[in-house]
Amino acid sequence: MTIAPEGVTTIPASRRFIILATCSAATMLYAMAITIANVVLPQMRGALSATPDQIAWVITFNLVATAVMTPVSGWLSNRFGRRNVLLVACFGFTVASVLCGLADSLEALVLFRVLQGAFGAPLVPVSQTIILDTFPREQHSMATALWGVGVVLGPIIGPTFGGAIAEEYSWRWVFFMIVPFGILTLGAISMFITKRPVRPPSPPLDWLGFFALAAALASFQFMFDRGQRNSWFDSPETIVECTIGFLALYIFIVHISSSPRPFINPRLFLNRNYCLGLALAFMFGMLNFVPLVLMPSMLQDLRGYPDSTIGILLAIRGAGNFLSFLLVIPLAKWNAKFTLAFGFVCQGVSGYAISQLDINLTYFDVAWTGALQGMGIGMSWVPLTLIMFSTVRPEFLDDASAIFHMLRNFASSLFISICVAVVIRSIYINSAELGAPLSEFSKMLSWPWVTGALDMDSVQGLAAASNEVKRQAALIGYLNAFRLYAIIAFLPLPLILLAHMPKKGT
């Protein structure tokens, strides 16, 4: 039995926009939590005595927990109702945020961030599904863009206020700051999101498919998170993680292809636009959060910027995102493929520009490249969802949205781990190369035009020279990561040409 989309013709226009505002608030809650944590990464690293790759777990494990739980949101929505899922997710997310603020060790913080990601996983896909189901198809571009305002406001509000609060008090308060927003969102969901019409009983969850997918995602994430620390495949741990990941992925693919009630409906992958959109979504996800992880550490370690300044600079990225949403609706209606390509180009140009900076980078350098990144993300988001969901049937919307966000979040966590590994490996290599001339046998150190104001015969002078070597090596590491970021941003351009947008009215 097929159920018509919920209330597309029966919900008054005014109530549709109230539902849209509520779903935007739920999305903003999740986006704000991610960007807030990025601002205080350097402060948390010092407070918890963590290395750069360890503190990145605060972001990556949150994202992978979101990726693992996102596909379940479709089944949860069908089984318990979208309203109930949003209520539980919002409540659990708020409680987990409080626990993050109370964490007294890195292990506890990572655990509570996993809980935060698990409860936050349904917020975005369920909200998107409600929007797509509430508005008629011809208004999807407008509704998606307005819903994206929540995605935009989160990265503006979070870093701006979070950076100032962290500088005044401590990193813990950026998590406590989420609580009032969570309570307000919880109240809005309970008031304005109504129950769906009665649907047939949901089939039981395909536990084998779920655990196989979860094991694959977690194994690959562990492998890339700990690969650099373990010397990659010289370590038995990396080999075991890689083996488990591919074996679990194989089991998952075989299972969903042969099971009568698979965890993810394989018929979705017969849709050309949707499969193409998944490939684009993976690369879009890779670009989404990497600058938010690299920039705070880069600005504080190399330039000594305070948390409040870093927060403002990250918020400028959100401002560029907001500007893009003023332009993306007419552009996407005119030509979705061109708009999507323009969005990826903006991110690629931004990454390339950052990779050309030197140690004397300025506020303006960070601001305009960040704003261009934000504009690129906004320009990509709406046409990407239009291309992916333009040919998806209404009964597949829950699963299609869940897979989309799962892949996007996993790609984000995976690429963060890769870029952090690039930074650390580059620091090791370039520290050795740049520090080689700092030897008592080097005749250049006796030349005053080489040493400048440094007294190489004193301990203080040698320490200053060593610190400068480390700083320059770190800069090279960050620039290498942004070069990789730029390459990934330009890769999707040929794929966009293969997309097919249905004609209006079909």
Of the candidates 226, 245, 262, which is a domain's last residue?
A: 262
Residues 243 and 127 in one domain: no
Instruction: Give the whole-angstrom CA distance, residue 185 versus residue 22.
Output: 7
Give the per-residue pLDDT at 400: 78
Residue of 12 and 121 predicted with greater confidence: 121
**Containing domain of residue 382, as a range?**
13-205+263-429+472-496
Residues 190 and 41 in one domain: yes
What count of Cα atoms within 13 Å lies in the side-chain half-sphere of residue 51?
10
Residues 308 and 246 in one domain: no
Residues 36 and 148 in one domain: yes
Give the per-residue pLDDT at 442: 60
Binned at pLDDT 50, 70 and 90, residue 456 comes out as: low
Complete DSSP assignment for 145-159: HHHHHHHHHHHHHHH
Joined tokens for residue 350: 């931004």
Buried b (16+ CB within 10 A) or exposed e, 313-325: bbbbbbbbbbbbb
Q: Of 265, 394, 278, 376, nearest to 327 (Cα)?
A: 376
Instruction: Give the whole-angstrom CA distance, residue 437 versus residue 456.
Output: 12
Residues 120 and 48 in one domain: yes
Residues 184 and 297 in one domain: yes
Q: Of 249, 286, 6, nearest to 126 (Cα)?
A: 6
Residues 222 and 117 in one domain: no
Residue of 318 and 199 predicted with greater confidence: 318
Instruction: Give the whole-angstrom CA distance, residue 67 versus residue 71.
Output: 8
Residues 122 and 172 in one domain: yes
Residue 471 has pLDDT above 50, yes or no: yes
User: Is residue 383 domain-resident?
Assistant: yes
Of the candidates 214, 243, 262, which is a domain's last residue?
A: 262
pLDDT tens digits, residue range 197-243?
545 556 677 788 888 888 888 888 888 877 777 777 878 888 898 89
User: Is residue 447 domain-resident?
Assistant: no
Residues 358 and 411 in one domain: yes
Q: Of 473, 486, 472, nearest to 355 (Cα)?
A: 486
Q: Of 156, 148, 54, nearest to 106 (Cα)?
A: 54
Binned at pLDDT 50, 70 and 90, residue 331 comes out as: confident
Q: Average the pLDDT over each of 94-103, 233-242, 427-436 and give the range with the smallest value.
A: 427-436
Residue 440 has pLDDT above 80, yes or no: no
Residues 135 and 160 in one domain: yes
Give the per-residue pLDDT at 2: 34
Cα 359 to Cα 19, 310, 477: the distances in Å are 47, 16, 12
User: Is residue 1 domain-resident?
Assistant: no
Domain count, the chain: 2
pTM to 2 decimals? 0.76
Cα 59 to Cα 2, 104, 135, 236: the distances in Å are 40, 17, 33, 25
